[in-house]
Amino acid sequence: MTTVASVPVRKRRGALGARRFASRVLIYAALIFWTFICLFPIYWTVTTSFKSAVDVTQGHLIPWLDFLPDWKGWRSLGLSPDTILKTSTARTEFMSRFVNSILTSVGASLLALVLGSLAAYGLSRFRYKFAWMRNDDILFFFMSQLILPPVVLALPFLVLYKALVLLDTTLGLILLYTLTVLPIVIWIMRDQFNSIPIELDEAAFVDGLSVWGAFIRIILPLAIPGMAAAFILSLVLCWNEYFFAALLTSTDAKTLPVMVASQTGSQGINWWSMAALSTAAIAPLVLIGIFLERYIVSGLTTGAGK
């Protein structure tokens, strides 16, 4: 860099341009490399669901070019065009797991959103005192649930749920999942409420609204972006949860991850149906990831800058 001053201006700009160009190329090469890493497993799974045994064993990768796509995997699930109208036990099972997953994850996310928003509003606006616990201690009490590994709760819950007849029920799973996402919802919502000026509450009181009236009529509508972020993030976490579902469900309340896991035992030859099942299990989340990415990012980055 010390010789720069003696080099004619135009030449220096040229050298810098070349370096800039090289760094551009490197940046885009790295971006494309990582795009490949992220997308290839998904691409592989989706295409494998259209392959026959020969295409799998010979490692064919590109549809129409080295193999002819066929609805093979989807037929075994009863979801291909020619089987979709016929009765299929595989499809019935898949659909019941799918519905279970939706009920469980939506139910738990809604419950967590209600409980978490209320608690977060309280913690953001009022000063509580419970024995030695102040607001910060109460917040820490909620957040500390995050470090609890699922194994600690799993076996006590197994025994408790058996006694409460909640084993293998969707309600039982909803209660547990609510617990796992509640700290995250409280964290996101508290940040959201803190960003809404307290003067709005005070104005509402002056207008004669009660605490709850101000919360529901004035503050809650303003907190919708945070609620959307918290809800979608919870939805993703609950949809993917496997550990509790594997231990606490057997037939009725089984969720999709448990179904996927129970079929992974079969090796090699049944790849197309496994691929179809995996594709169907991840499809809703891939769609959420593509279209609602904004909310996920805003949910994840809450408080990151502080």
Partner 1 sequence: MQDTSPAAAVRHDKVAWQRIAATRKALGRGFVVLASLVLVTVLVVQILHVSGTITPGFSDWRPVLYGYVLWSVALGVGQVMARGERGLRALFLLPAVLFTVAVVIFPSLFGFYIATLDWNLSSLEGPHFNGLSNLYALFHDDYYWNALGNMIFYTLSVLGEYAIAFGLALLLNAEIRGRKFFRVVFLLPMMLSPVAVSWMIGKSLMEYRFGPAATLARDLGWDNPAFFAAPWIARFSIQAMDAWVSIPFIMIILLAGLQAMPKEVLEAAKVDGANGWQSFWHVTFPIMLPVSITVLIIRIIFKLKLADIVINVTAGGPGGATDTVSSFIYRVYRDRSNVGYGTGLAIFYLLLIIVFLTVLLRLSHRWTQRVS
Find the shortest distance in angstroms from Cβ 139 to partner 1: 10
Of residues 52, 83, 96, 145, which one binds partner 1 by CB under 8 A? 145
Q: Which helix (H) or strand (E) holds 260?
A: helix 256-263
Token pair of 167 as six digits: 């084993």
Helix, strand or coil, per DSSP, at residue 164: helix
Alpha carbons 163 and 56: distance in angstroms, whole number: 48
Alpha carbons 213 and 29: distance in angstroms, whole number: 55
Q: Is residue 288 close enough to count as binding partner 1 by CB under 8 A?
A: yes
Q: Is residue 158 close enough to count as binding partner 1 by CB under 8 A?
A: yes
Q: Is residue 178 close enough to count as binding partner 1 by CB under 8 A?
A: yes
Quick one: which segment of 9-17, 65-73, 79-87, 290-298 binds partner 1 (CB under 8 A)?
290-298
Alpha carbons 73 and 47: distance in angstroms, whole number: 10
Q: Is residue 21 close enough to count as binding partner 1 by CB under 8 A?
A: no
Phi, psi of 67 (to 5 degrees): -150, 155
Of residues 175, 218, 220, 228, which one binds partner 1 by CB under 8 A? 175
Neighbours of 122 (CB within 10 A): 17
Alpha carbons 284 and 53: distance in angstroms, whole number: 27
Quick one: which segment of 64-72, 90-98, 218-226, 267-275 binds partner 1 (CB under 8 A)?
267-275
Find the shortest distance in angstroms from Cβ 84 to partner 1: 22
User: x/- string (CB under 8 A) for partner 1, residues 66-85?
Assistant: --------------------
Phi, psi of 84 (to 5 degrees): -65, -25
Cβ-based nearer residue to partner 1, 85 or 167: 167
Cβ-based nearer residue to partner 1, 158 or 224: 158
Q: Is residue 57 close enough to count as binding partner 1 by CB under 8 A?
A: yes
Find the shortest distance in angstroms from Cβ 265 to partner 1: 9
Q: Is residue 240 close enough to count as binding partner 1 by CB under 8 A?
A: yes
Of residues 15, 18, 25, 42, which one binds partner 1 by CB under 8 A? 42
Alpha carbons 278 and 44: distance in angstroms, whole number: 11
Q: Taking CA 196 as the corner, what is the angle to CA 195 and CA 202, rounded to the nearest 5 degrees? A: 140
Quick one: which segment of 10-18, 87-95, 153-161, 223-231 binds partner 1 (CB under 8 A)?
153-161
193 close to 124: Cβ distance less than 8 angstroms: yes
Alpha carbons 41 and 46: distance in angstroms, whole number: 9
Residues 85-124 that bind partner 1 (CB under 8 A): 114-116, 118-119, 121-123
Helix, strand or coil, per DSSP, at residue 133: strand
Q: Is residue 156 close enough to count as binding partner 1 by CB under 8 A?
A: yes
Token pair of 193 as six digits: 């409420």
Residues 196-215 that bind partner 1 (CB under 8 A): 202, 205-206, 208-212, 215
Helix, strand or coil, per DSSP, at residue 149: coil
Q: Is residue 22 close enough to count as binding partner 1 by CB under 8 A?
A: no
Q: Is residue 126 close enough to count as binding partner 1 by CB under 8 A?
A: yes
Alpha carbons 176 and 167: distance in angstroms, whole number: 12
Q: Is residue 142 close enough to count as binding partner 1 by CB under 8 A?
A: yes
Q: Is residue 157 close enough to count as binding partner 1 by CB under 8 A?
A: yes
Which residues have CB under 8 Å from 72's CB, separation 6+?
A: 49, 50, 51, 52, 272, 273
Applying CB under 8 A, the site for partner 1 has a residue count of 101
Cβ-based nearer residue to partner 1, 115 or 222: 115
